[in-house]
Structure formats: structure tokens, C-alpha cells
Amino acid sequence: MQQQPMLEILAHSPWFSSLPETLAAELVSLCKLKTLADQQVLHKKNDLADGFVCVLSGRIRISNYTLQGKELILTWMQPGNWFGEISLLDGQPRTHDAHTEGKTVILKLSAGAFHTMLRNNNQWYAHFSRLLCQRVRASFSQIDETGCLSLTGQLCKRLLLLQQGLESEHCVNSQNKLRISQDALAQLIHSSRQTVNKILQDLRVKGLIDLKYRKIQLLDRDKLAELSRI
Amino acid sequence: MQQQPMLEILAHSPWFSSLPETLAAELVSLCKLKTLADQQVLHKKNDLADGFVCVLSGRIRISNYTLQGKELILTWMQPGNWFGEISLLDGQPRTHDAHTEGKTVILKLSAGAFHTMLRNNNQWYAHFSRLLCQRVRASFSQIDETGCLSLTGQLCKRLLLLQQGLESEHCVNSQNKLRISQDALAQLIHSSRQTVNKILQDLRVKGLIDLKYRKIQLLDRDKLAELSRI
DNA sequence: TATAAACTGTCGTCTATATGACATTTGAGT
DNA sequence: ACTCAAATGTCATATAGACGACAGTTTATA
């Protein structure tokens, strides 16, 4: 991957952009570029932590499986997103599976390099703490959402969040459309494909979104946000 | 409060017990004891962080309100639990309201003292990071639970977690019974009082719990755990 | 271009759970 | 001991959403 586009992707992460220059530079310089094919496993739940990762292109699905084998999607890590710090920071195993979706390029900092870096620079803990705080806050929001929003509300909220994530990507790929199946959305909000379809049709009729095969375009974000207020 | 019982309560927090002696000692020495009456507000959602808190006796309800005024309970902080670090570490406002339930004694470290302590001892960030990791993992569990367990499963899981929390308290008060209304349990699992009552009756008939006015005693934890496996 | 696989749209049915109503029980405060 | 507010137990009713079925559509690939 060329230097310039990589820096642009990195710059679109609010967390990464907030880092002091020295930390940002050291972080990137210690990382290795890796290219993964579609549906590769980065790690499974309960694995020991092997590193800290940033997605550069493609997408990584973060999910768990129930005893019955149903997949529960927590989120997708999109270009610019960093993840994997939890297991590194508390020494406990991974909380979720991580699978690529499509050809995916990542930056990876090995566990060893991560710990060496932190040991030599205690003051940088502050920045990883902030990343953890973001995760807690996002999780709290999600708990509130599932507690008091209808599935319509939850779906609107998730569509908005996915779109936000995509926009780090410079709208290059998909003319600003979300590329995602209705099935996957159902797994995200713990619902069924049929119900998601019904909700999406309803939103389309109301003019809030446009629907294509495996593509969703958000047309009226204010209304969508209104439907997902808590 | 006397020194000895306080130390015993503190010792029952896995997080606090894992701290290096120097940090534990400094933390406690910088805290101030406060006694609060029933239903006092420690802080509201969106307040700026004012401190880091440990419950010594009583209980603190952590909750949010929907637009319609319904209260969503995230959890209760019980004796030995520390909380409030999120806003302190990322400088953003509080995520939830915090109300006392019953006369409640707390240790409180002011925001200023917290930041001074960390500024002077960067290496202690590691321990607050671990606390954050616990929050993230607990939140992830809760998201999975609401996603794939029936209300019965969710309720069993929450009863077990509440009981675990209580046992830090040396079973002094309540002969090991949970003192909580069915209404509150409904707010915890985002359900209705009537449904919670039906589930509890069912668990009682099966011999897994015993029910009294505002009290629940867990009789068969293995079976309860079985009902809440994911 | 043909074929298969993945995805979508739309039924009808069934079940879990919310909600309102109301009687009963319990415990706290006087 | 009495009174009242809070909590509990139990209905009956309404409804959101899961799930199976199946036809239609789009894309990938041979």
C-alpha cells in the first residue's frame, strides 16, 4: 500500500488523529502490513491476544456464536478503525471472533511490540484508556438502544453508525452506499431477515432510504436519527 | 466507619485486591468518607466527572431515563465496587445517573486528586485500564445476553451476578438473600413487572429460588447458571 | 450465455411478552 | 395496633416479531 492513501485513512480515525505525533509515528512504524483474503479468521473468541490492528481496506466482522450456532454480530471494523486492545491490556482472552469480509488490508502491531512500547512509555496508557472509554460508551449506548427502542429504531441507529464509519473511507468505493445484506443487518440487531426486510421497505416508502441488491443508501439522516432517539 | 471493616470490604473487590500496595494505600488515603441518605443523587447523566467512588455500605443505582421517562437500570454498585473512572479518564460527561438506595457510605477520590495521582504515577494507568476492560467485557456479555437469551435466561443471569456482588458484603445483612423488588428487576432486564413475577413464580415452583416480600434467595445456582448459558 | 448461489420480497401462523385491571399481602411510620 | 403506601399475584387482551415457506431477482462463475 502506498504511503499517502494510508495516512489519509489513518487520519480519519478520531482516536488516531488525537494521538501525539510521536506516539502516532511509533505506532505506525512498528506495525506490519498484512493482506488477507475474504472470510479469513484473524482470531477466535477465547484466543490469547496476538496484536493490535487497524483496518486499511476491506472490513472485519466482530461476532460471537450462540450454543445453537447462531452468529451474533457486534459490529464491523471499517477502514481507519483500530481494535484488539482489550485483550492486550488485561491479558484475558479475546471477547469475539474476527473474520474478514472481502480482501482486507490491515496494519498489525504484535503483542510483544505493543507491550514493549507501553512499558517504555507509561504516559501512552492515557491514549489507550481513551480508546477503551470509547468502547464502553459505545456498548452502553447499545445496551440502552436494545432496552428501549423498537427494532425500527435500532435498525435506523445502526444504519447511521455504519454510514458514519464508512465515511472515513472517502466515499471512494460505493458512492456512499452501504454494502450489506439484510441478513447481516438482522444478525446485527438480533432480529430476523424477514423483519429487517419489512422495516427497510417501510423506510423506503417513507423516502428515508433507497434500496438496491445488497446496497442501502441513506437519504434522510435527520429523520433516521429522529426514529432512533432514546 | 472503623478501619477494619472498611479494609475487609475493600479486600473483596477483585480489582482493588489486585492493586500494588502503594497504589492501594495512596488511593484510600486520598479518599474522603461520605455518608448519603436514601435516594440521594451522586451525579446525573451528562454531568462533568467529579470523582472516583467506592461503595462501602448501602447501594448505588446506575441508570438512564428514556424520553418517555422510563428508567433503565444498568446495574447496582454494591459494597466493594469502585466506579466513576470513565468520565475521569476521557474527560467526557457521565454516562448514567447514580442514586443511592438506602443510607449509603462511600469513599470518594476527587477529580483533582485522581488526576494528580495519575500525573505523578503514569504506571498506575495500567490498573485503571484493567478496570475499564472489566467494564467493556461486562457490557459485551450483557449485549450477548439480551441478544440471544429469553427473559428467563436474562433474569437468571442477573440474579446470579447480583448475588455475586452481594457476597463481597460478608452475608451480614440479609442472610444471603437479595433485597430487591420485582419492579426493579423488570427495569434491569427491560421487561415488565408482571412478566418478572411469572418467571420468578416458575423458578420458585422448580425449587431454584425462594421468594419473600422484596427478597429472593437463590437455592440452586447450578441450574440457574444452566438456564443462562449462551 | 447458462447455471447456480446468494439475496430479496411477501405470505400466514404462532408465541412471547407488554399492558391494564384489580384483589391481596406486606412492612414502615405514626 | 392502625393506616397507608408499596409490592405482589394473577387475570384477560393486544401485538410485535420469530419462523417456515416459496417465488422472484441479482450477481458470480463456469
Q: What is the pLDDT of residues B61-70, one digit of tens each?
A: 999 999 999 9
CB pair distance less than 8 Å for B90 and A129: yes
Q: Which nucleotide is nearest to A180 (CA to C1')?
A: C7
| CB B16 within 8 Å of CB B82 | yes
A152 touches strand D (CB under 7 A): yes
CB neighbourhood size of B48 (10 A): 12
Q: Which residues contact B224 (CB under 8 A, 6 or more apart)?
A: B156, B159, B160, B203, B208, B209, B218
pTM of the model: 0.95
**Chain C bases under 7 Å from protein CB?**
6-12, 16-21, 25-27
CA of residue B127 relative to chain centroid, distance: 19
Out of A92, A130, A229, closest to residue B89 by CB: A130
Q: Which residue of A has its CA nearest to B15?
A: A90
Residues in A closer than 8 angstroms to B123, CB to CB, are 122
Q: Give the Cα separation of A70 and B141 in Å (integer).
A: 16
Q: Report which of residues A31 and B12 the model is more confident about.
A: A31
pLDDT digits (tens, 9 = 90+) for B186-230: 999 999 999 999 999 999 999 999 999 999 999 999 999 999 999
- CA-wise closest residue to A32 among A105, A89, A116: A105
Q: Check pLDDT > 90 for residue B5.
A: no
Residues in B closer than 8 angstroms to A128, CB to CB, are 129
CB pair distance less than 8 Å for A147 and B72: yes
Q: Check pLDDT > 50 for residue B174.
A: no
B212 touches strand D (CB under 7 A): no
| Rounded average pLDDT over B96-111 | 96
Cβ-based interface (< 8 Å): residues of B facing A: 64, 66-67, 70, 72, 74, 86, 89-90, 92, 95-96, 118, 122-123, 125-126, 128-130, 132-137, 139-140, 142-144, 146-148, 190, 229-230
Q: Give the Cα separation of A6 and B125 in Å (integer).
A: 30
Per-residue pLDDT of chain A (230 residues; tens, 9 = 90+): 677 789 999 998 999 999 999 999 999 999 999 999 999 999 999 999 999 999 999 999 999 999 999 999 999 999 999 999 999 999 999 999 999 999 999 999 999 999 999 999 999 999 999 999 999 999 999 999 999 999 999 999 999 999 998 876 554 444 679 999 999 999 999 999 999 999 999 999 999 999 999 999 999 999 999 999 99
Out of B132, B146, B230, closest to residue A133 by CB: B132
